[in-house]
Amino acid sequence: MDIFSNNGRLQWVEAFIKGIPYARASGMYVTEVGEGRAGLGLPARDTWTGDTERGLIHPGVLSVLADTACGVAVGTALTEIEPFATLDLRMDYLRPALANQEIVCRAECHRVSRSVAFVRGELFQPGRAEPVAMVNATFMRATANTRRQERAGSAPTAAAPMSPDQAAASLSAPVSIEPSQVFQSTPADLPETLAIPPGRSPYVDFLNVHQQPQVDAGPVFRLPFKPDLIGNPILPALHGGVLAGFGETGMILHLVATNPGLQGVPRGVDFAIAYLRSAKPVDTFVQGTTVRQGNRVALVQVNIWQDDPQRPVAQARGHCLMPRGED
């Protein structure tokens, strides 16, 4: 397979998507491929709904699709196959994304340096000429891509170079997570409840987010691990977009929990996340802090961690539009 031909790129992208458990489970599909550009679609599902009252898609769903599409665009821009990982991702939500409709993200890798690739993109829904969101992301090139148990007691090493055919074969192979690879981080006797009543936000139900007891700094929310959340099956590691979606969920749930009597659900205006280290196949936690809250807009910062809140896997912040009766 010649990856530098259009047909070769298409085969590589399809294998790449097939090799990502989250992308495969969510039904992502390729819409277009070219040198340094890619388009991915997400089929309409009730699961992606974030606000059932308004009939809107959860912003985290857009972030996962955008992160994946941007990563694919980086792959099509490289002159040879190599590992890469998201450094940061920023989403700007231009207008509400309607539930139970397809979403398409078109991403372009517009600059590749020795160490970093820069990507921008837009997300659309069928029948709507204007984008519902825009994304900007940066990726680190040539990241270590070895399994965690192989790295124990030794310095990380980069994966050996593979031919396009070998890479496609490895990415399309079924993913098997060994029990020894799944870290347990949540005490079984820790009291907690579902973050929100079932049915109010199908996407939060899909993530199965739980809320732990209130503490002085604000509530802590837990994302239980499941294999469908894997983005890198080689390490293995959680999908970066899933971390973003969980961070956005924590941001919104924080505002709901700290504003008793709030009528309606806060709506994302923008969201930016920085990835500090890869996220293991383990329960993940998020806690928010309100930086500033006005009558219409609130700015929230969230810390996302796994084993230790002092060693976060990601940090994020975003603005939310606070609900009013006429919204």
Contacts of 36 (CB under 8 A, 6+ apart): 73, 76, 77, 108, 109, 110, 112
pLDDT, tens only, 185-234 = 444 456 788 998 899 999 999 999 999 876 666 889 999 999 999 999 98
Distance, in Å, from the CA atom of 66 to the CA atom of 193, rounded to the nearest integer, reads 30
Tell me the H-state helices in the chain: 6-18, 21-26, 59-77, 148-151, 164-172, 202-207, 240-257
**What is residue 158's predicted lDDT score, i.e. its pLDDT?**
32
The SS3 call for residue 245 is helix
Q: Give all domains of the chain, ordered by start, each with its CATH number.
A: 6-145+190-321 (2.40.160.210)
pLDDT above 50 (res 304): yes
Stretch among 118-132, 170-184, 200-214, 302-316 having the lowest mean pLDDT: 170-184
pLDDT, tens only, 151-176 = 444 333 333 333 444 444 443 343 44
Single pTM value for the model: 0.84
End-to-end CA distance of the chain: give it in Å, rounded: 52
